[in-house]
Every structure is written in C-alpha cells, then in structure tokens.
C-alpha cells in the first residue's frame, strides 16, 4: 500500500488500498472534505474514493481524475452500477404494483418509482407506463440502507427531458467510464457524431445509452461508433467519423 499526495497522483493509476494524502485538510463522513480552518479548502470525492482519517483511501483500480476546483474520482472500466443520489439513469420497468413501479437500474437492487413522480400526474391522470418500458429519471433517494427511489421530475415539478422513452430506438450497455467521458462538459464526441447522423440520444449514468437515428442501419452504426469511442483517441475518432460523413 502506497501513500502519495493526491495532487501528484492525478492522471496516474491507483490501486485499492492506496492512501492519498491531503496536507492540511480533513474529511467528513459524506465523501466531502469541509473546511476546518480558514486555510482549508473544500474537496469533493467521487466514485472509487473513501475517507480515512484526514486522507483518502482508494477503493477500486483506475486512473485518478480531478476537476477544478477540487473534485477527485477514480475513472475505471467498472460496469456494475451503484446508485448515487441525483444521478440520471435509464431504468427498465419490471413490475407495476398499485401506485409504485419497480425498475431495473443495473444495480444490485431495483428502484421504486411513484406514479405521481411524473410531470402533470394526479390520481385521476396517471402516466401510461407499462412493464418493459424504458424510463429516464433521477435518483432522489440512494444509500446503502434504503431502496433506491427515482423521480421523473425536477425540484420545480417539471419533466426537463425525463419520463418514458419512446418504443423505437436501441438501448445498449457501455462501461461507466465511457458514460462519464461522454457526459464531461468539454467532451465533444456526441456533438461530432450528431453532425454526421442526426439522432435522439439519452445517456444514463448507469451505463445505459438509448439512441434513435433516421434509420435502423444508422442507429446501429451510431451504437457501434459510441462503443468504439472508449478506445479511440481524438484524432482516430475524427478520422472514423469523417469516413461516415463523406458517405452520408
């Protein structure tokens, strides 16, 4: 087990058991390190890290990443999803029981979703949700001691793009690392692909992606290109996209 300053480990491979030192900082119990003095800045820890006294311990193998001002996480090829509050995910309706739907969210437990957690839903105006439907929503409850709970509305009661996904299109699974890469604000993979193939796209933090292009053939091509982006450099990606751009 090694101990290195967290700043020096950014961009490097870290292993479970490694300790990342935070000089002059202290952690709290909620994966965030709050200031204990005027010289201490707040540090937020994401997946793959946990507190250990005044430092951080690595819990899974991968590359240590950092986003300013001080957000750290471990980028790995993990495929098993662990629900996190406020994450937007794609779930599959498995059970419809009374006022509650049960959804497979690719985690160890199914998530619950109330029929009232849709925009405009009332006891008389229930959403048309069936077993097998795909639902895009966010977690409002997610911890190890409680069943995950989802909603398809934001804090103001608006859907904001969430809800039942149309019956057409294709859903496929990718690694959680690729999902985080696609959703990074400075990443332009999705925009470059949309310039080649106009499409509808939904990306869930649980490693599920739904896509619908103009034709079935284009939908399959888009799915394969997105999967390939996990291993392509920016130059290789633009070269591959360019070939399809010339043929469309």
Task: List, for residues 123-133, the tens digit of each pLDDT value.
Answer: 888 898 999 99
Mean pLDDT of the chain: 84
State residue 81's pLDDT score: 85
In the numeric block, the tokens 């999705």 are attached to 190
88-164 and 170-247: identical CATH topology: no
Mean pLDDT of 94-113: 92
The residue extents of the domains of the chain are: 3-75, 88-164, 170-247
CA distance 128 to 115: 9
Please give the pLDDT value at position 36.
36
Classified by CATH at the fold level, domain 88-164 comes out as OB fold (Dihydrolipoamide Acetyltransferase, E2P) (2.40.50)
Q: What's the CATH class of domain 3-75?
A: mainly beta
Supply 129's token pair. 């949700």
| 92 alpha-carbon distance from chain centroid | 16
Residue pair 27/41 in contact (Cβ under 8 Å)? The answer is: no
pLDDT digits (tens, 9 = 90+) for 173-229: 998 888 988 988 778 899 999 999 999 999 999 999 999 999 999 999 999 999 998
Task: Enter the tokens of residue 109.
Answer: 């437990």
The residue with greater pLDDT, 23 or 38, is 23
For the chain, give me the number of helices (H) and strands (E)? 5, 18
Given a cut of 90, whether residue 143 has pLDDT beyond it is no
What are the pLDDT digits (tens) for 39-52? 445 777 777 888 88
170-247: CATH topology: Ribosomal Protein S8; Chain: A, domain 1 (3.30.1370)
Please state, in angstroms and rounded to a whole number, the distance separating the CA atoms of residues 76 and 199: 28
């Amino acid at each position: 087990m090694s101990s290195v300053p967290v700043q020096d480990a950014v961009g490097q491979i870290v292993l479970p058991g490694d300790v990342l030192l935070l000089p002059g900082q202290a952690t709290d119990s909620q994966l965030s390190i709050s200031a204990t003095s005027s010289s201490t800045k707040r540090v937020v820890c994401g997946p793959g890290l946990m507190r250990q006294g005044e430092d951080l311990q690595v819990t899974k193998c991968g590359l240590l990443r950092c986003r300013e001002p001080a957000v750290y996480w471990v980028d790995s090829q993990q495929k098993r999803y662990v629900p996190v509050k406020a994450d937007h995910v794609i779930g599959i309706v498995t059970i419809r029981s009374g006022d509650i739907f049960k959804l497979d969210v690719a985690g160890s437990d199914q998530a619950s979703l109330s029929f009232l957690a849709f925009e405009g839903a009332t006891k008389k105006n229930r959403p048309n949700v069936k077993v097998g439907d795909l639902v895009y929503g966010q977690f409002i409850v997610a911890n190890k001691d409680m069943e995950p709970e989802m909603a398809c509305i934001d804090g103001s009661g608006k859907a904001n793009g969430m809800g039942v996904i149309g019956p057409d299109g294709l859903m496929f699974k990718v690694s959680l690392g690729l999902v985080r890469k696609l959703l990074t604000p400075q990443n332009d993979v999705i925009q470059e692909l949309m310039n080649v193939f106009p499409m509808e796209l939904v990306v869930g933090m649980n490693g599920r992606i739904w896509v619908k292009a103009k034709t079935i053939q284009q939908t399959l091509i888009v799915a394969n290109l997105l999967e390939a982006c996990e291993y392509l450099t920016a130059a290789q990606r633009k070269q591959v996209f360019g070939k399809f751009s010339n043929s469309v």
